[in-house]
Amino acid sequence: MLYHLLYPLHTTISAFNIFRYITFRTIYASLTAFLICVLLGPWVIRKLSKMQIGQYIREDGPQDHVKKAGTPTMGGILIIFSLIVSTLLWSNLTNYYIWIVLIITTGYAIIGFVDDYLMQVKKKSKGLSVRIKLLMQVILAIVAGVLIYLHPDFNTRVTIPFFKNISPDIGWVYIIFGVFVIVGTSNAVNLTDGLDGLAIGPVIIVSVTYMVFSYVSGHVKIADYLQINYVSGSGELAIFCGSLAGAGIGFLWFNTYPAQIFMGDVGSLPLGGSLGMVAVITKQEILLVLVGGLFVVEALSVIFQVGFFKMTKGRRIFRMAPLHHHFELKGWPEPKVIVRFWIIAIALALIAMSTLKIR
């Protein structure tokens, strides 16, 4: 919005020319989202506490979690609000991709909200049924997939990390591939969200990484120089990713151990879904497995644990899945698990960035 209001003034006052630059708008979008989140945080925490929107804790989990009962949840409302406001303020609103990402963010936030709301009304640890939740996620992802497929400038090539000459064009199958990336990431982030700051830390790291990828893939000269897929218009997504990182850091202020608030599904589902969407649009889809490797490992730990548990009628690979519970039960203090997982996420993001050169 500021871009549309202030940039045209550059003809009379040249200083307003600065609003043309994606880099400038990305920095201020991050700061705006951060400030909204930090300033509104205490008020949101008070409101949620007053409405008694507190977390119900499963009794079969690690005993350390019992003391977390009653911590306000649904803090995702704060993250998503800051993210959307900042994106609307700083991005070019005529950009097609910005709207697609906002559709996924809002849609998944609504699914998460309904899930959390049912949990609060029923006062149970389960909200929407897994099937309904998944079906709604898939439908929304198909809508987004079709919308990008229909965009005349969007190609259906898939980028294979480390191989610059291999980029297969998979045609309409790209829609199914995109749905898999979006829904998979959304659920993987949701599974990771089980310790204070454990999910939001890597979400910030992945957002910053994709902020860079959005910028370079949307810049015709840099994309050509780095020999990556050029996606006209994807540069504006740097503003979305910057806002996401800013909102995430603002939320971490309150979610860091010992957490004053949890994000709930209203946060975890849209955060994962929107990162998946950005990865698809910037044509760095498969790379998300590496950038978001921590989410992948957490999700795989659940798949293997549940599979093994069923096959062997009750035996386990890990002490408990998702993986963070395994380390908790081994006796690692919660902050140690969290910070070590963040360190791994940073290392993975750096390796992913290196693919811009190592190809």
What's the length of the chain? 359
Rounded to whole angstroms, the Cα distance separating 187 from 223 reads 31
Cα–Cα–Cα angle for 253, 74, 190, rounded to 5 degrees: 85
The answer to whether 346 contacts ligand 57M (rule: CB under 6 A) is: no
The answer to whether 268 contacts ligand 57M (rule: CB under 6 A) is: yes
Taking contact as CB under 6 A, which single stretch among the options 60-68, 88-96, 213-221, 281-289 is the one that binds ligand 57M? 60-68
The answer to whether 57 contacts ligand 57M (rule: CB under 6 A) is: yes
The token pair at 80 is 């998503």
User: Taking a C-beta distance cutoff of 8 angstroms, is the pair 325, 194 a contact?
Assistant: yes
The answer to whether 193 contacts ligand 57M (rule: CB under 6 A) is: yes
Question: What is the nearest approach in angstroms of ligand 57M to the Cβ of residue 297?
Answer: 14
Nearer residue to ligand 57M within complex by CB, 177 or 257:
257
Among the listed residues 110, 106, 86, 87, the one whose alpha carbon sits nearest the alpha carbon of residue 98? 87
User: Taking a C-beta distance cutoff of 8 angstroms, is the pair 199, 188 a contact?
Assistant: no
The answer to whether 194 contacts ligand 57M (rule: CB under 6 A) is: yes
Question: What is the nearest approach in angstroms of ligand 57M to the Cβ of residue 311?
Answer: 12
Report whether the peptide linkage leading into residue 258 is cis, meaning its omega lies within 30 degrees of zero: yes
The answer to whether 332 contacts ligand 57M (rule: CB under 6 A) is: no
Taking contact as CB under 6 A, which single stretch among the options 2-10, 185-193, 217-225, 234-242 is the one that binds ligand 57M? 185-193
Nearer residue to ligand 57M within complex by CB, 196 or 236:
196
Q: How many residues in the shown chain lie near ligand 57M by CB under 6 A?
A: 29
User: Taking a C-beta distance cutoff of 8 angstroms, is the pair 111, 133 a contact?
Assistant: yes
Taking contact as CB under 6 A, which single stretch among the options 101-109, 170-178, 286-294, 314-322 is the one that binds ligand 57M? 314-322
Rounded to whole angstroms, the Cα distance separating 145 from 170 reads 13
Rounded to whole angstroms, the Cα distance separating 268 from 189 reads 6
Taking contact as CB under 6 A, which single stretch among the options 153-161, 174-182, 225-233, 320-328 is the one that binds ligand 57M? 320-328
Report 138-167 residues binding ligand 57M (CB under 6 A): none
Rounded to whole angstroms, the Cα distance separating 304 from 194 reads 18
The answer to whether 272 contacts ligand 57M (rule: CB under 6 A) is: no
Report 292-311 residues binding ligand 57M (CB under 6 A): 302, 305-306, 309
Exactly one of 141, 144, 259, 356 binds ligand 57M (CB under 6 A); that residue is 259
The token pair at 123 is 């006062």
Q: Which residues contact 57 (CB under 8 A, 6 or more apart)?
A: 65, 66, 68, 69, 125
Applying CB under 6 A, the residues found at the interface with ligand 57M are 55, 57-58, 60-61, 65, 68, 73, 190-191, 193-196, 255, 259, 262-265, 268, 302, 305-306, 309, 316, 320-322
